């Protein structure tokens, strides 16, 4: 004789049946995901300078669904409460199917039904390979013999050049997709692979694409702001004789800004090298401006300290200071975090090098001046 099912048994079977056919809610887009080992998921929209919480999702055996309203396309983030997750680029009307594993989620997942999200996955895959290759180079350098340094260095630059070319090619092929901005901003160890100063043309390409296709996007405004930082901001400051000097007066010239201070020992050690640059290149077209961060609370006579150092170190070019030490406005304007610090600026006002070694400065200035 068969026993009738208990109320509890019926509830469990019903729950299992629901899990097997999890209903996807209606919306301008939807996501159905099965991620092994996950129970709670944070779903956020990615703006240029902010993450906007859309929903907190609870998975059943790693399965969850979500839908929402959307105009056009937008970047989203699916993540665990601990922060591990994946980026998505979703367009209105897309129905995404995602599978993966919580452990190393951003490297262990598949996504279907979303062109933009698939492009992001391609970018991430290439970045993962790049990072592994770079880690191999770093490890090799730790134990390398001196005669192997050149070979390792060449391999290092080769890997960076290869990744840079891949990113440029990706951008050129995807200017009608918001994913191009992720290629532009792809970074390793917190530093963009495509540097603003050496790849301004690609920053402009992506910016123009966003202005044309997504003028109201927060990312459009961000790109515009970033491009502005590629150019040296104007400023006015008193020189060592008390006369006002305005930076834009030198427009059209190759300029080297040297930020230093009389109390800074590394700066004083570097000053003879700046003198050599001035003597070598000034008559051929290089202008040098030194800006002192004298005026710290520890100084009782900052102006005298500054004047004495200028005289002793034989700095014969334009000398500027507002005598406010680390509170000098020049620090914020040029994002200076340590000194000595040099900034090379071309004839168009574009910053083309920062904190370069004197060997690199010599080479770069010679190339620009066709020497």
Beta bridge partners of 105: none
Q: What is the pLDDT of residue 10?
A: 35
Into which CATH architecture does domain 236-368 fall?
Answer: 3-Layer(aba) Sandwich (3.40)
Q: Which residues of the chain have pLDDT under 50?
A: 1-20
| Strands, sheet with 29-36, edge to edge from the N-terminal-most edge strand | 63-68, 29-36, 95-101, 109-112
DSSP H helices in 217-264: 218-228
Q: What is the pLDDT of residue 22?
A: 64
CA dist., res. 352 & res. 272, Å (int): 23
Q: What is the pLDDT of residue 152?
A: 85
Q: What is the pLDDT of residue 23?
A: 65
The DSSP annotation for 85-120 comes to: EEEEEEETT-EEEEEEESTTGGGSEEEES-HHHHHH
Residue 210: partners with Cβ closer than 8 Å, 6 or more residues away: 178, 181, 217, 219, 220, 223
Cβ(329)–Cβ(322) under 8 Å?
A: yes
Q: What is the pLDDT of residue 13?
A: 36
Q: What is the pLDDT of residue 17?
A: 41
Q: Half-sphere exposure (CA, 13 Å, Cβ side) for 54?
A: 19
| CA atoms 353, 247, 225, 208: torsion sign | negative
Q: What is the pLDDT of residues 169-190, one digit of tens each?
A: 999 999 999 999 999 999 988 8
Nearest to 134 by CA among 108, 164, 155: 155
Block residue for tokens 């979500």: 66
CA dist., res. 330 & res. 322, Å (int): 9
CA-to-CA separations, 301 to 101, 195, 304, 320, in angstroms, rounded: 63, 41, 6, 16
Q: What is the pLDDT of residues 89-129, one digit of tens each?
A: 999 999 999 999 999 898 889 999 999 999 999 999 999 99
Cβ(342)–Cβ(354) under 8 Å?
A: yes
Q: What is the pLDDT of residues 287-307, one digit of tens each?
A: 999 999 999 999 999 999 999
Residue 318: partners with Cβ closer than 8 Å, 6 or more residues away: 239, 245, 287, 288, 289, 290
CA-based angle 289:293:297, to the nearest 5?
A: 165
Q: What is the pLDDT of residue 18?
A: 43
Tokens standing for residue 43: 């779903």
Tokens standing for residue 32: 């159905």
Q: Chain-centre distance of CA 57, in angstroms?
A: 30
CA-to-CA separations, 68 to 74, 80, 93, 118, 358, in angstroms, rounded: 12, 19, 10, 20, 55
The DSSP annotation for 144-211 comes to: --GGGHHHHHHHHHHHHHHHHHHHHHHHHH-TTSTTHHHHHT-EETTEESS-TTT-HHHHHHHHHHHH
Into which CATH architecture does domain 27-113 fall?
Answer: Sandwich (2.60)
Which H or E run includes 41?
Answer: strand 40-47
For the chain, give every domain's residue range.
Answer: 27-113, 121-228, 236-368
């Amino acid at each position: 004789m068969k026993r009738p099912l208990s109320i509890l048994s019926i509830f469990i079977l019903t729950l299992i049946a629901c899990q097997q056919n999890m209903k996807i809610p209606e919306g301008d887009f939807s996501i159905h995901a099965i991620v092994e080992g996950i129970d709670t998921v944070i779903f956020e929209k990615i703006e240029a300078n902010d993450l906007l919480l859309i929903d907190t999702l609870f998975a059943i055996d790693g399965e969850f669904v979500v839908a929402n309203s959307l105009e056009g396309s937008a970047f989203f983030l699916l993540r665990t409460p601990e922060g591990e997750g994946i980026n998505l680029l979703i367009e209105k009307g897309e129905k995404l199917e995602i599978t993966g594993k919580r452990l190393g989620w951003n490297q262990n997942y598949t996504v279907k039904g979303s062109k933009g999200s698939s492009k992001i996955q391609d970018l991430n895959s290439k970045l993962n390979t790049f990072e592994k290759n770079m880690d191999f180079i770093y490890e090799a350098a730790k134990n390398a013999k001196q005669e192997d340094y050149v070979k390792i260095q060449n391999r290092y630059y080769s890997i960076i050049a290869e990744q840079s070319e891949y990113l440029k090619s990706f951008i050129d092929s995807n200017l009608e997709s918001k994913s191009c901005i992720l290629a532009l901003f792809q970074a390793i160890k917190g530093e963009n692979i495509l540097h603003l100063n050496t790849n301004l043309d690609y920053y402009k390409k992506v910016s123009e694409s966003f202005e044309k296709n997504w003028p109201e996007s927060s990312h459009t405004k961000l790109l515009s702001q970033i491009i502005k930082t590629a150019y040296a901001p104007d400023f006015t400051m008193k020189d060592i004789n008390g006369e006002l000097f305005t930076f834009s007066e030198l427009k059209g010239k190759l300029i080297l800004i040297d930020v230093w201070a009389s109390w800074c020992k590394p700066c004083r050690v570097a000053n003879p090298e700046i003198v050599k640059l001035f003597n070598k290149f000034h008559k051929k077209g290089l202008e040098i401006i030194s800006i002192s961060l004298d005026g710290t609370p520890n100084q009782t006579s900052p102006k005298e300290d500054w004047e004495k150092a200028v005289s002793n170190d034989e700095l014969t070019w334009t000398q500027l200071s507002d005598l406010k030490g680390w509170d000098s406005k020049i620090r914020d304007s040029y994002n200076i975090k340590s000194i000595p610090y040099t900034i090379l600026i071309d004839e168009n006002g574009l910053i083309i090098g920062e904190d370069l070694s004197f060997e690199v400065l010599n080479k770069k200035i010679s190339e620009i001046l066709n020497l």
